[in-house]
Structure 1
Amino acid sequence: MSGFVSLADVSLPAFAALCEQDTRAEDFPHCREVLHKVLIYQASTLRDALASDPRPLLSELHRAFRHGPGVVVVKQAFTDGALVDRHSEVFNRILADEAQGGSGGDHFAKAGANGRIWNVLQKAAIQAPESFIEYYSNPLLGMLAEAWLGPHYQVTAQVNVVRPGGQAQQPHRDYHLGFQTVEVLEQYPLDVQVMSQYLTLQGAVAHTDMPLDTGPTQLLPYSQQYDLGFMAWRDPAFIEYFQAHAVQLPLHKGDLLFFNPALFHAAGTNRTPDQHRMANLLQISSAFGKPMEALDHDRMMLALYPVLLDRVEHQELDAHGLHAVIATAAQGYSFPTNLDSDPPLKGLAPQTGQQLLHQALAERWTLAAFAQEVERMRLRRRA
């Protein structure tokens, strides 16, 4: 199947047939073992490969993310628990500081239900550079990123703390297209939906021990192979299948969990009375997710707005023409942004420049009113 698809095209039997594959350890010779279809690697194996020729292992990991189960665990990636604890204390200080300002939005859980730090990479680098350096000098993070994305990737990070009693997330796929509604997804050809998974790698560093009662991430191996999965993850039948077949693996502090962003997954329920489950969530982006030139879209929108408003009022520009101009002149994507000040409070993603421009024209704002909102948006999105 190719071209444009809709929710009516999804097939649970086709999805289930993929998810019911088995993982054979002999197909992944560097892995230590297979647990619940998930590939388990020992960190020493990755370090040995780095010291010699890493390409065979990089090829194996890449195959695991796309054509294998889609998820790998690296045991004892951080052997110094005190190092992880020191960086956890950095996170705790940031959480305490930000608690003064109330809760922001969340994508797949109720706002404020968990402890969440947006853009913790920048915050930790500024507040605790020594801890940042000792933590991110671990070369295994970059090795996993390069296995999926190649070189010149860019790292972002968000901390998630699931408190005692914290409920499981809704199963979902992740960034990019996991943050879009079905109506938006239907505008992307299926080949582009499949391609999007190659632009990001999802990862997590366990900052606490995570026995099953704490609710480590629920995973559905092989679900990333279903091309229509971005369309399907909200469907009740797929949610029910996920809940019946997802697996969870206990993790220890310092372990890594990395997976294809198209894998169906969800944070689990923390059933303990007193354990706070903390993970540093890494979203690592391909070098290719960037345009060639830097544009000042705010300045462009402000320059065009009076003329666009005049033409709309005099019906000199039809809807298709208006859409084409706005798509050329304004940012149509919500990211990157500052999720502390620009949270997804009304959906999965913050408002875009294109949406703001359409709204202003539809409601016939004055140039001054539009300029004020453009400035507010700029300030919200500022790092």
Structure 2
Amino acid sequence: MTSWFTAADGRLEDFRAVVEQQTDRSEFPHATEVARNVLIYPGDLPDTTEVRAELARALMDGPGIVVFRGAFAADVVDRATGVFTGLIAEERETGRAGGDHFAQPGANDRVWGALDKFALRDPAAFAAYYDNSTLALISAAWLGAGYQVTSQVNVVNPGGQAQVAHRDYHLGFMSDAQASRFPAHVHLLSPVLTLQGAVAHVDMPVETGPTLYLPHSQKYAPGYLAFHQPAFTAYFDRHHVQLPLAKGDAAFFNPALFHGAGTNRSADVRRMANLLQISSAFGRAMETVDRTAMCEALYPVLLGYEGSTANVVAASAEGYAFPTNLDRDQPIGGLAPPTQAELMTQALAERWDPPTFTKAVRDQENRRRAG
């Protein structure tokens, strides 16, 4: 394998050889069926080492997606739906427009940062919802101990259009130019740092546009560059699969799986899902660092610096857009908000005076804070 992927590595014939294989249920004995190449499991699987190993294998070497039928009890889902609906109504009243990574801002309803909003609004309902053995099982199977749950509620309204096929966090939230700055081994590492999931909060027949998937596509190594290419988008549009979900069903998938929300062609169903993004405990630095204070101290020096300001910025400023508060720091105009390093680079290029930069970097820090 090459040590560095480029756009030229994306060859459709190689991609087809990966994704046009069939899922063999005999390799996954705890599954109840294979539906359109997707493994279907019951929502009451035992938590054993054998089951965890099978689920991890399904996400890595199998189709890359598993669906659990009846993973969440209907009454528990309904109680959470009431909380989410109230949050959406309140945010609408404030005039807050939700940005989106892969759809037009404002086309659908979003609750960013729904995990802590839910816990603070109705902690008893939160406890009942997240006391879920299926969620714990699949999270531990893919990520091990110490995982971190985050949640974004997404409501696709009637007429809401399908997303463009994509991969997900981390490299999936980057342009092809940005992703190409990372070596091939990081492209392979990125998917094992995150588990993607979606809990159906309403019945989702196909006409409501449940998520489109391309099973086995997570195994295509240069896929974080390839999904940006029109030929791969066209192939996905012709060959994706789509499964209806019932309220309480949950789908979990490898974030490198090519996927995208479908078009809601129903007349009156507001398709609500709780999108779960569960992160590895290892996605953290060893020390806490006050990078804003560092930027403020270094900026006047760098204005007159004769060496490589880029190297100094890389060693001091926050170079990644996440985690952030997506209510205030929204991905409008791109897949991710600007980073602190990008802000500092812009300020240096445009020769902002230090007070202007200080205000800008502090405002950015405030937008990123929770609460």
Normalising by structure 2, we get a TM-score of 0.98
Q: How many residues align structurally? A: 369
| 1:67 partner amino acid | D
Is 2:351 aligned against 1:364?
Answer: yes
Is 2:324 aligned against 1:324?
Answer: no
Distance, in Å, in 1 between the alignment partners of 2:2 and 2:288 is 33
Does the Cα contact within 8 Å between 1:199 and 1:285 map onto a contact in 2?
yes
Match for residue 242 of structure 2? 248
Is 2:179 aligned against 1:185?
Answer: yes
Match for residue 17 of structure 2? 17
1:296 aligns with one of 290, 297, 306:
290
Q: Structure 2 stretches of 5 or more lacking a match?
A: none
1:84 aligns with one of 77, 80, 91:
77
Match for residue 162 of structure 2? 168
CA drift at 1:2: 2.2
Match for residue 8 of structure 2? 8
1:198-256 CA distances to partner (integer Å, 9 max, x unpaired)? Answer: 00000011100001111110000000000000001111110111011100011100011
CA drift at 1:8: 1.5
Is 2:61 aligned against 1:67?
Answer: yes
CA drift at 1:104: 2.4
- Identical pairs, percent: 53
Is 2:368 aligned against 1:381?
Answer: yes
Distance, in Å, in 2 between the alignment partners of 1:346 and 1:76 is 38
1:341 aligns with one of 307, 311, 328:
328
1:115 aligns with one of 101, 105, 109:
109
Does the Cα contact within 8 Å between 1:2 and 1:189 map onto a contact in 2?
no
| 1:205 partner amino acid | V
CA drift at 1:4: 1.6
CA drift at 1:24: 1.0
Does the Cα contact within 8 Å between 1:332 and 1:352 map onto a contact in 2?
yes
Is 2:179 aligned against 1:153?
Answer: no
Distance, in Å, in 1 between the alignment partners of 2:3 and 2:326 is 33
CA drift at 1:182: 1.0
Distance, in Å, in 2 between the alignment partners of 1:349 and 1:35 is 34
Q: Give the secondary structure class of the aligned counterpart of 2:287.
A: coil
Q: CA RMSD in A?
A: 0.8
Match for residue 351 of structure 1? 338
CA drift at 1:107: 0.3
Does the Cα contact within 8 Å between 2:41 and 2:66 map onto a contact in 1?
yes
CA drift at 1:346: 2.0
Match for residue 208 of structure 2? 214
Distance, in Å, in 1 between the alignment partners of 2:267 and 2:326 is 30
Distance, in Å, in 2 between the alignment partners of 1:55 and 1:133 is 26
Does the Cα contact within 8 Å between 1:2 and 1:191 map onto a contact in 2?
no
Q: Give the secondary structure class of the aligned counterpart of 2:80.
A: helix
Match for residue 98 of structure 1? 91
Distance, in Å, in 2 between the alignment partners of 1:246 and 1:104 is 27
Distance, in Å, in 2 between the alignment partners of 1:9 and 1:188 is 14
Distance, in Å, in 1 between the alignment partners of 2:183 and 2:160 is 37
Does the Cα contact within 8 Å between 1:220 and 1:245 map onto a contact in 2?
yes
CA drift at 1:302: 0.5
| 1:2 partner amino acid | T
Following superposition, which runs of at least 4 residues in structure 1 exceed 6 angstroms of deviation?
none
Q: Give the secondary structure class of the aligned counterpart of 2:233.
A: helix
Distance, in Å, in 2 between the alignment partners of 1:358 and 1:88 is 43
Distance, in Å, in 1 between the alignment partners of 2:249 and 2:322 is 29
1:276-333 CA distances to partner (integer Å, 9 max, x unpaired)? Answer: 111000000001100000000000001111111122xxxx22xxx2111100000000
Distance, in Å, in 2 between the alignment partners of 1:346 and 1:303 is 30
Q: Give the secondary structure class of the aligned counterpart of 2:41.
A: strand
Q: Give the secondary structure class of the aligned counterpart of 1:350.
A: coil
1:277 aligns with one of 256, 271, 274:
271
Q: Give the secondary structure class of the aligned counterpart of 1:157.
A: strand
Normalising by structure 1, we get a TM-score of 0.95
Q: Give the secondary structure class of the aligned counterpart of 2:304.
A: helix
Q: Structure 1 stretches of 5 or more lacking a match?
A: none
Distance, in Å, in 1 between the alignment partners of 2:74 and 2:177 is 45
Match for residue 261 of structure 1? 255
Match for residue 133 of structure 1? 127
Distance, in Å, in 1 between the alignment partners of 2:62 and 2:5 is 25
